[in-house]
């Protein structure tokens, strides 16, 4: 759901991390405007995690499903 809020964790090559909270829509808009970098997106219940590394490889842990139908 693009209107729900998630945690967005971004990192740089020096090992610094930034934790932000935003809607799925805002996170996707940010990623569209950015070069490849390592980031994580996690839902508030921490039942799933999405990671993309700086090479563009995407990893998913957990089951992502429509939260309204859960």
Structurally, the chain folds into a number of domains equal to 1
Confidence check: pLDDT of 1 > 90: no
Domain of 41 in residue numbering reads as 5-69
- Number of helices and strands in the chain (H, E): 1, 5
pLDDT tens string 7-45: 999 998 888 999 999 999 999 999 999 887 899 999 999
Q: What is the pLDDT of residue 69?
A: 46
Instruction: Let me know: does 39 contact 52? Beta carbons within 8 Å.
Output: yes
């Amino acid at each position: 759901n693009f209107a729900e809020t998630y945690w967005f964790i971004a990192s740089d090559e020096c090992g610094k991390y930034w934790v932000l909270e935003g809607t799925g829509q805002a996170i996707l808009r940010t990623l569209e405007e950015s070069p490849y970098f390592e980031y994580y997106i996690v839902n508030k219940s921490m039942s799933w995690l999405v990671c993309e590394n700086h090479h563009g490889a995407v990893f998913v842990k957990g089951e992502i499903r429509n939260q309204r139908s859960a």
